[in-house]
Each structure stands twice: as C-alpha cells, then as structure tokens.
Structure 1
Amino acid sequence: MAVTQQLARIPAVYLAACRQTASASPDGDPRWDPPASDVLDLDWAPALLARLGEVSGLDEARLDALRQATDGDTALDLGFLNTHPHAIGPFGPVPTALSSAQVARVSELLDQIDMHSLLAALPTDEREAGYLIGHGADHIIGGPREYLLKHFNALRDFYLDAAKRHLLIVLWWD
C-alpha cells in the first residue's frame, strides 16, 4: 500500500475528546475515527501542487496558503495521535493541524487560485509538463494536468466546507 496524504476535518471538541480518551486509555488509544465523508486522501498531490504553483508564478500569499493547506501547522499538540501502536501516520512526519481560523484563511486564498491559468502556464506536451513539475509527474497516466486539477479541486472544496462548518483540519501521511 502506498503512503499518501490524508486530511480530516473535525470539530475542536472531537479532537479534545480524542485527547482525553488517549490519556484515560491504558494503551493511549485516542479512538480516532473521523467520518469517511470528512476525510480526504490527497494521494501524492501535495508536492506536485506546490511545484505547479512555483513554476507557474503563483503569488507568494497563495503559494504559502497552498503549502499550508497540505503541510498544516504544529501549533496544536497532536502527540497523542502519534503514539504507538495507535499512531495515525506511522509512515510519515508527525500529524499536523490547522485551527478553524487558519482553515478559514487558507480556504479563502485557495478559492482565489485560478488553477486553469496555472495549468496553462505549463508546456503543452504532457510529458514535458511532467518533467518540469518533477516528483514523478511525468509518469502520471493521463498526464499531470488532469491529476492536478482533480486533486486541487478536491482540496479547495474540502477546505471551503471545513471553513463553512468552522472545523479544524488534521493532516497526516498514511
């Protein structure tokens, strides 16, 4: 199974309940199980999306928002989600999160990104576009454009919904 980036949009009270459950459990199990409808599998898209923004000349504020949308922040203590044997992301960096205020700001900036313009800045040949992006984008079946558009739209929509619902987002690799 491939390691891919996962995101979950959750209420702060759910995170607090998981933290409390982990501390009360003899084995540290937080009972982390957000609803499937509030989880997004971004596959390997984060590095490709950031690179697309870089090579296409995306302005710094939106590029930073795109990175933050997939990197998260370490301000929220998620150590209890990274404890063996119940770690949610045992194959990657420690889980990170964005507060609901951060989610709202990132969502607003993601919604301002014109993905079609970014993709239009790539070479017309899909393989050349993939080479320019790097990170294996030249091997994506169907080419990088469709893949990046699909994953960006999913990311943007996920953040828009989280912002509307005042949720925070937890990110990990699994």
Structure 2
Amino acid sequence: MALTQQFARVTREYLEHCRSSAFDSPEASPGWDPSPGDLLDTDWAVWGLIWYCRSTGADVDLIALLDRAVSGDPGGDIGFLDHDEVYDGIDGPPRLLAPAAVVEIARGLEAVDLDIVLADLPSAAADAAAACGFGDGFSGDVREYVAEHFTAMVEFYSAAARRGQCVVVWVD
C-alpha cells in the first residue's frame, strides 16, 4: 500500500470535540470523522514537486512553503489524534496548522506560478518522473499529475483560510 499525503480542514471547535472524545473514551478514540468535503489526498504529487524543486535549486522560500504545507508546524497540542482511527501509524502523527498559519500558507501557495516552477521539467515522461523522484513505475503525464494535485492543495488551503479553519496534515 502506497503512502499518500492527507489534509483535513477543521475548526478549533471540532478539534476540541475530538480532544474531549479522546479523553472520555476508554480507547482514547477522538471520534475523528471530518466531512469528506473537508478532506484532501494529494497522493505523492506534492512530494514529487518538493523533490524537483530541491534538485533544481529552486527558491528556498518556495521549498520551505511547500514543505510546511505538507508537514505542518511543530507542537499544536493535537496528540489526541495520534490514534489508529486517524492514521495508520507508519509515519509521524498528524500535525496542525493553526488558522494564522493556514492564511500565510494559502497566500504563499496562491502566489506560486507553477508553470514557471516546472518550466525546465523534462518533456519525456520517464525523465520527468525521474526529475520528481517518482522512478520507473510512474505512468502518465508528470506535469499534469503535479499540477492537478498542486491546484487542489492551493484551493483547499484558500478555502480553509477564508473560513478561518485549521488544517491537519498527515501521511497515510
């Protein structure tokens, strides 16, 4: 089973509900069940974009922005989400981005011109896949794959910022 990047848009109130549920449950179950419309799976596309940016010497601020968008911020007091109901435990537990961080990330992502970032991506599929760290097993149009998932992430963060929501990130 492949690991993929997951995101959830939630309110602080929802997180408090999950915290209370975890403390009240004998199994420490947080009752994690965000609305499907507030969940996003970007597969491993954004990791490929980060790989490509690092390997091509892209702007360090862009790399930091992308990394923060998928990795979250340290702390966040959401240890109650470190539960198999939320994620499979293969990677680190979920991390939180508070509303102010979400606004900052959304603005940064909205300013990225992906066409410029990917301007030197090889046109041959195998070369493009290698440039993004996808390896030989990737099939399809790398540029389209990365762009589709990047655009979904931008829209996801922008909506969360408009709503004043937190974003929880994890790998599953």
Give yes or no for contact 1:22–1:28 (8 Å, CA) kept in 2. Answer: yes
Query: Which residue number corresponds to residue 24 of structure 2?
Result: 24
| 3-state SS of 2:42 partner | strand
The structure 2 residue matched to 1:148, chosen from 140, 146, 149, is 146
State how many pairs are aligned: 172
| Amino acid aligned to 2:38 | D
Question: Using the alignment, how far apart are the partners of 2:114 and 2:19 within structure 1?
Answer: 37
Offset at residue 56 of structure 1 (A): 4.6
Offset at residue 108 of structure 1 (A): 0.5
Question: Using the alignment, how far apart are the partners of 1:81 and 1:165 within structure 2?
Answer: 22
Gaps of 5+ in 1: none
| Amino acid aligned to 1:6 | Q
Query: Which residue number corresponds to residue 119 of structure 1?
Result: 118
| 3-state SS of 2:157 partner | helix
User: Per-residue displacement from partner, 1:40-61 (whole Å, max 9, x unpaired)?
Assistant: 0111123202122224543222
| Amino acid aligned to 2:119 | A
User: Per-residue displacement from partner, 1:104-159 (whole Å, max 9, x unpaired)?
Assistant: 001101111111112222122221122222143x5322131111011100111100
Question: Using the alignment, how far apart are the partners of 1:110 and 1:123 within structure 2?
Answer: 23
Query: Which residue number corresponds to residue 158 of structure 1?
Result: 156
| 3-state SS of 1:9 partner | strand
Give yes or no for contact 1:5–1:173 (8 Å, CA) kept in 2. Answer: yes
Question: Using the alignment, how far apart are the partners of 1:87 and 1:37 within structure 2?
Answer: 16
Question: Using the alignment, how far apart are the partners of 1:57 and 1:86 within structure 2?
Answer: 39
Give yes or no for contact 2:30–2:81 (8 Å, CA) kept in 1. Answer: yes
Offset at residue 87 of structure 1 (A): 4.4
Question: Using the alignment, how far apart are the partners of 1:122 and 1:44 within structure 2?
Answer: 17
- The runs of at least 4 aligned residues of structure 1 exceeding 6 Å deviation read none
Give yes or no for contact 2:46–2:146 (8 Å, CA) kept in 1. Answer: no
Give yes or no for contact 2:32–2:86 (8 Å, CA) kept in 1. Answer: no
Identity %: 37
In the superposition, the TM-score normalised over structure 2's length comes to 0.92
Query: Which residue number corresponds to residue 40 of structure 1?
Result: 40
Give yes or no for contact 1:8–1:40 (8 Å, CA) kept in 2. Answer: yes
Question: Using the alignment, how far apart are the partners of 1:13 and 1:146 within structure 2?
Answer: 37
Question: Using the alignment, how far apart are the partners of 1:110 and 1:56 within structure 2?
Answer: 19
Offset at residue 72 of structure 1 (A): 0.8
Give yes or no for contact 2:5–2:169 (8 Å, CA) kept in 1. Answer: yes
Question: Using the alignment, how far apart are the partners of 1:127 and 1:80 within structure 2?
Answer: 42
Query: Which residue number corresponds to residue 77 of structure 2?
Result: 77
In the superposition, the TM-score normalised over structure 1's length comes to 0.91
